[in-house]
Structure 1
Amino acid sequence: MGKRSQRKNAAMFDSDDDTSSISSNSTIRSDRMSVSGMDEVQVHKDALLDQALDALYEKRSSTREQALASIVDGFNSDLQHEFVEKKFATLLHQCLNCIKKGSSRETFLATRVIGLLALTVGLGDQAHEILEESVTPLSQALKSGRDSLKISSILECLAVITFVGGTTPEETERSMQIIWKMIHPKLGSNVVATKPSPAVVTAVVSSWAFLLTTVDQWTLSPKLWQEIVSYLSSLLDKDDRTVRIAAGEALALIFELGNLEKFSAEAKRSNGSAQEGNVSQEALMHMHGLKAKVTNKVRDLSSEAGGKGSAKKDLNNQRNLFKDLLEFLEDGYSPETSTKIGGESLQTTTWYQMIQLNFLKHFLGGGFIKHMQDNEFLHDVFGFTPKKKFTGGEPRMSQGEKRMFKSPNSALNKARTQFLNKQRMLAESKNAGHYAATGGDYYA
């Protein structure tokens, strides 16, 4: 499309028209609306997204920001399968360009679009392509500034696209390492450590823990687990409440993984060698000591009195979280939650499920309910089946969806089967506390 056409489309985003209201004016007023009428509505929505995509080529940052905001709204309000089928690669690379050259606000919006794009395409080659095409530009963007909004949005985007598109443990560990290094960089002779803001620390810990929920085998040694637990426990003493909550959830997940049982098994296996046995027994004792320290701190935070300027909602969230964590550490009971989605209840019974739910709810924002109702990838993640709404006609599928679903041997069906098998294995492993600890220098 030529520059003149791009400018014309971009001008639409600089006008006083509220593009978000256009789709609302296209509300279907009758269950008997004709198929041709529904097609017209879809064409109209696609045209708006096409115009927004064209506007991403414009030089004016404010124009690109408005276009990105329109795309975010479009992806939050509906599952844009047909648009993605046609414009997947163009949208991804234009968003990556926005991250390279844009403001913090533009980066925030572009990373949201990339994450929504991954959640929309679900499992398969496209999600993996998003991860592989994005990981280097995102890593470079993390080094290019210190703005908390920019860094936090990049970290959360990296976590989401890895959650959907990561196909091997190595890919997940690569992203977790990139995330963790934002608070624990490898320091060289010419590198000066900068203290991350509370917002960045919260984003690092929550994004890292979100990806830890997907790991079914782990290669960290007991010593490195100790270092991670020690660092997270130190965050419970920080002034910022969101940091304390993120650290508490991450610690709950780590203890749910069964580390103490793992260290006990390691110590028993090492008894044949006095030196190794001493190291493992020392690691086990140290971990028990850390758990006792964490438990005492959690007990204090579960009944903390409100301080000056303390928001009541945040204080209640902290108290509730740490009451649940205290019960888990002392009695082994994980919290159970229930979220209403269109008349059905989405249940969680483990820390890892609750962490996944909270992270995706935060990332999707206003689009959470719509995606939980219509997004099959999220249905698989949470084992959730929504109530089906009657729309007055047979459900229609795009040509791309028909291709994906027509064969039980299709790439999507194979990926979905592998994902569901992995989810079952994860649930069984977490309940039994079976995690490998075979050494490694992941965070060295």
Structure 2
Amino acid sequence: MLYEFILERRMTLTDSIERCLKKGKSDEQRAAAALAAVLCIQLGPGIESEEVLKTLGPILKKIICDGTASIQARQTCATCFGVCCFIATDDITELYSTLECLESIFTKSYLKEKDTNVICSTPNTVLHISSLLAWTLLLTICPINEVKKKLEMHFHKLPSLLSSDDVNMRIAAGESLALMFELARGMESDFFYEDMESLTQMLRALATDGNKHRAKVDKRKQRSVFRDILRAVEERDFPTETVKFGPERMYIDCWVKKHTYDTFKEVLGSGMQYHLQSNEFLRNVFELGPPVMLDAATLKTMKISRFERHLYNSAAFKARTKARSKCRDKRADVGEFF
């Protein structure tokens, strides 16, 4: 890791990020916000990342709430501000203030009493989605009393977002609800939700959605996610996922861990696997223990040779060609009857 290198240049990096956030245009602000999040991930929790957050937090918050700023910049700032607070905040009042800031954004998508049954997407929808997901991430580190307060405030309003005509908003709302149910049942095993029948009907409809006006890709993606969400709400079940990185593997066995993993993966992209192997902070978050040290000989035995890789690719290519040939033959046979 570049921890020592970054630690020595923390002030320089923070100053550069601050300058880009204040004076840069949309793309510069987005890049600066992403760098701020990566900087906090590299530094981990501690005085250094707290100072980064104290310097950059107010600027990120200002951009998020600035109606004249670029939607894309506000969206990225919302995600990265949530990640920075998750890592670095040591002040509970600052955590609550961040939650309220994000709430003030995504609650604008809630159905009002006079509205129709469908929420129409707007250019701000992407910002509302990012704010909701960042808010949900921070909810996982709140004290129990604050979690209860937030659940009471949003449990009966959040389902209205399932009526959005934007597939990503529907999925974000559904996953946030599943996570909230998990938190509520973790605090009270006999937790009772008053509108359970109405909610499960909505979730079941989304899990089997055949609306012809929606794109096939969106419907396939939505049905897959909402089947898992419906199982979580009705049966308290979670389909365990396995993430492999190097010689290790991690099991994602709950909604809190899944949401945390998805958020950090969005920020780190292809670097997520490397950080899971080496970053002590992320390894602590996912309870992976200290980094596994492998010598050169072990690493060498783990790598397959170029010849073995060639044989594998050749076999896969032949199998794929045969499968496609059979499909072509079937189509040819069908064509002969017409």
TM-score, normalised to structure 2, is 0.76
Find the aligned partners of 2:105 and 2:41 in 1 and give their Cα distance. 25
CA contact 1:210–1:355 (8 Å) conserved in 2: yes
Aligned positions, number:
283
User: Could you say which residue in structure 1 is the equivalent of 2:319?
Assistant: none
CA contact 1:131–1:166 (8 Å) conserved in 2: yes
1:335 matches 2:258: no
User: Could you say which residue in structure 2 is the equivalent of 1:165?
Assistant: 88
1:86 maps to amino acid: E
User: Could you say which residue in structure 1 is the equivalent of 2:285?
Assistant: 381
CA contact 1:183–1:196 (8 Å) conserved in 2: no
User: Could you say which residue in structure 2 is the equivalent of 1:345?
Assistant: 249
Find the aligned partners of 2:147 and 2:229 in 1 and give their Cα distance. 24
Find the aligned partners of 2:87 and 2:162 in 1 and give their Cα distance. 30
Find the aligned partners of 2:225 and 2:271 in 1 and give their Cα distance. 25
- Consecutive aligned runs of 4 or more in structure 1 exceeding 6 Å deviation: none
For residue 347 of structure 1, give the secondary structure of its aligned residue in structure 2.
strand
Aligned pair partner of 2:146 in 208, 219, 235: 219
Aligned pair partner of 2:226 in 322, 328, 343: 322
Deviation at 1:125, TM superposition (A): 0.6
1:254 maps to amino acid: M
Find the aligned partners of 1:352 and 1:141 in 2 and give their Cα distance. 28
Deviation at 1:263, TM superposition (A): 11
User: Could you say which residue in structure 1 is the equivalent of 2:104?
Assistant: 181
2:28 maps to amino acid: E
After TM superposition, the structure 1 = structure 2 runs for residues 188-207 of structure 1, keeping only pairs within 5 Å, are: 197-207=124-134
User: Could you say which residue in structure 2 is the equivalent of 1:240?
Assistant: 166
For residue 258 of structure 1, give the secondary structure of its aligned residue in structure 2.
helix
Distance 1:332 1:221, change over 3 A: closer
1:110 matches 2:1: no
Find the aligned partners of 2:53 and 2:277 in 1 and give their Cα distance. 25
1:153 matches 2:76: yes
CA deviation profile, 1:272-323 (whole Å, cap 9, x unmatched): xxxxxxxxxxxx7xx412x3322111111111126456252x4333222211
For residue 288 of structure 2, give the secondary structure of its aligned residue in structure 1.
coil
Find the aligned partners of 2:153 and 2:86 in 1 and give their Cα distance. 25
1:288 maps to amino acid: E
User: Could you say which residue in structure 1 is the equivalent of 2:275?
Assistant: 371
- Aligned-residue sequence identity (percent) comes to 26
Find the aligned partners of 2:211 and 2:244 in 1 and give their Cα distance. 30
Find the aligned partners of 1:220 and 1:355 in 2 and give their Cα distance. 16
Deviation at 1:220, TM superposition (A): 6.2
User: Could you say which residue in structure 1 is the equivalent of 2:194?
Assistant: 288
User: Could you say which residue in structure 1 is the equivalent of 2:13?
Assistant: 91
Deviation at 1:333, TM superposition (A): 1.6
For residue 293 of structure 2, give the secondary structure of its aligned residue in structure 1.
coil
Distance 1:80 1:304, change over 3 A: same
CA deviation profile, 1:237-258 (whole Å, cap 9, x unmatched): 1111110111011111111112
User: Could you say which residue in structure 2 is the equivalent of 1:255?
Assistant: 181
1:119 matches 2:23: no
User: Could you say which residue in structure 1 is the equivalent of 2:208?
Assistant: 303
Distance 1:389 1:323, change over 3 A: same
1:213 maps to amino acid: T
Q: Which segment is superposed worse, 233-242 or 167-176?
A: 167-176
Find the aligned partners of 1:167 and 1:102 in 2 and give their Cα distance. 29
Deviation at 1:177, TM superposition (A): 1.3
Find the aligned partners of 2:125 and 2:197 in 1 and give their Cα distance. 26
CA contact 1:324–1:335 (8 Å) conserved in 2: yes
Find the aligned partners of 1:221 and 1:86 in 2 and give their Cα distance. 41
For residue 182 of structure 1, give the secondary structure of its aligned residue in structure 2.
helix
For residue 163 of structure 2, give the secondary structure of its aligned residue in structure 1.
coil
CA contact 2:106–2:129 (8 Å) conserved in 1: no
- Structure with the bigger RCO (C-alpha within 8 Å, sep 6+) is 1
Unmatched 5+ residue regions in structure 2? Answer: 109-121, 298-338
Find the aligned partners of 1:373 and 1:263 in 2 and give their Cα distance. 35
Find the aligned partners of 2:171 and 2:53 in 1 and give their Cα distance. 28
Find the aligned partners of 2:50 and 2:212 in 1 and give their Cα distance. 46
User: Could you say which residue in structure 1 is the equivalent of 2:315?
Assistant: none
CA RMSD, aligned part only? Answer: 2.6
Deviation at 1:346, TM superposition (A): 1.1
For residue 334 of structure 1, give the secondary structure of its aligned residue in structure 2.
coil
Find the aligned partners of 2:190 and 2:273 in 1 and give their Cα distance. 43
